[in-house]
Amino acid sequence: MLVVVCPGQGAQSPGMLSPWLELPTVAASIARASQTTGLDLVAHGTTSDADTIRDTAVAQPLLVASALASLRAVLDLDADAPLATAAAATVDLTAGHSVGELAAAVVAGVLTDEEALRLVAVRGAAMARAAAVTPTGMSAVLGGDPAEVLAALDAHGLVPANVNGAGQVVAAGTLDALAAFAAAPPARARVVALQVAGAFHTTHMAPAVDELRAAAATIAPGEPLVPLLTNADGTVAPSGARALELIVAQVANPVRWDQCQETMVALGVTGLLELAPGGVLTGLARRTLPGVETVAVKTPADLDAARDLLSRHGSPRGTEPSPATTQEQSS
């Protein structure tokens, strides 16, 4: 059983699209994404420096466009072919971390490429504006007793914005609260400040939710052809409309990637393919999904390995969900 996962913010790196743009399909896909988002994603994926692509308004569209273009390359599709229809032939499940959930919604068939890219442009810009209101940030908390970590966050007025599994929680809140927490961390826990613009997935992002909800109201989501796990609680979204509601709400609510991975185990996932720019989610999977074979698509050199994983772990079928995921979807 194969799951396709899409990375979130922080996975981007300078020059990450340079080798990809040598592929005509990817070049065409990124060019279209640039037109849709109003950003020069070719430049941002090749020549922009780390500070430029750290900007939330740039990073988010760049990540979604890269994930979708890389899956088209894996499936050997041109820029016009329906992505979800092709994915549904072998992919059993999909999920995305934070902004990656918009790319996963395309894999599932809930959104088209253009719809997801229009939404991510709104999401990134709105979150950047919300982050500018109050000095906030995020820090990774590695290790420590989970209960003690959560209690310490609460005591400092911080929120566990991302619960990623493998002993990793991302704390979010004001910069003063994060500094106080880092000065007196829980026992056996290491705190690493993240280079992000604000406290994402917290109430600080409420204004961005309103903007994204208004944009989402113009879209009629499709019903999933591939079951889509939600960041809200790791369950399979019961409909396209509900999936889109949760994607919007997620901006100001925690990402429960730990629960997404628990569902992958429960459903019997045996292979995990992480789309470009891969690496972060496969790293988590190696620590939390024992026995699951992983492939991270980082450059075109990884395409053969990705296709091999698909052929061995995917479930060849039509566009109907597999029995296991259909049962989960109705529960």
Q: Which of 97, 156, 201, 313 is catalytic?
A: 201
Model confidence at 79, in pLDDT bands (50, 70, 90)?
Answer: confident
Digit-coded pLDDT (tens) for 172-206: 999 999 999 999 999 999 999 987 889 999 999 99
Q: How far is CA 139 from the centre of its chain?
A: 18
Q: Which pLDDT value is given to residue 327? A: 34
Q: Which pLDDT value is given to residue 297? A: 98
In this predicted structure, the answer to whether residue 131 has a pLDDT above a threshold of 70 is yes
Q: What residues pair up with 192 in beta bridges, in sequence order?
A: 140
Q: Which of 29, 34, 66, 98 is catalytic?
A: 98
Q: Which pLDDT value is given to residue 195? A: 76
Digit-coded pLDDT (tens) for 265-316: 999 999 999 999 999 999 999 999 999 999 999 999 999 999 999 999 998 8
Q: Is the pTM of this model over 0.95?
A: no
Q: What span, in angstroms and rounded, lies between the C-alpha atoms of 104 and 10? A: 17
In this predicted structure, the answer to whether residue 321 has a pLDDT above a threshold of 60 is no
* All structural domains of the chain: 2-130+203-330 (3.40.366.10), 133-193 (3.30.70.250)
In this predicted structure, the answer to whether residue 8 has a pLDDT above a threshold of 90 is yes
In this predicted structure, the answer to whether residue 112 has a pLDDT above a threshold of 70 is yes
The three-state secondary structure class of 236 is: strand
Residue 106 CB contacts under 8 Å (≥ 6 apart), including other chains? 68, 83, 84, 112, 113, 115, 116
Q: Which pLDDT value is given to residue 319? A: 40
303 in Cβ contact with 282 (< 8 Å): no
Q: How far is CA 210 from the centre of its chain?
A: 20
> Known catalytic residue: 13?
no
Q: Which pLDDT value is given to residue 329? A: 32
Q: What span, in angstroms and rounded, lies between the C-alpha atoms of 264 and 241? A: 22
Q: Which pLDDT value is given to residue 330? A: 30
Model confidence at 166, in pLDDT bands (50, 70, 90)?
Answer: confident
In this predicted structure, the answer to whether residue 317 has a pLDDT above a threshold of 70 is no
Q: How far is CA 326 from the centre of its chain?
A: 23
> Known catalytic residue: 70?
no
Q: Which pLDDT value is given to residue 197? A: 81
Least confident of 60-69, 76-85, 178-187: 76-85
pLDDT > 70: percent of the chain: 95
Q: Which pLDDT value is given to residue 325? A: 43
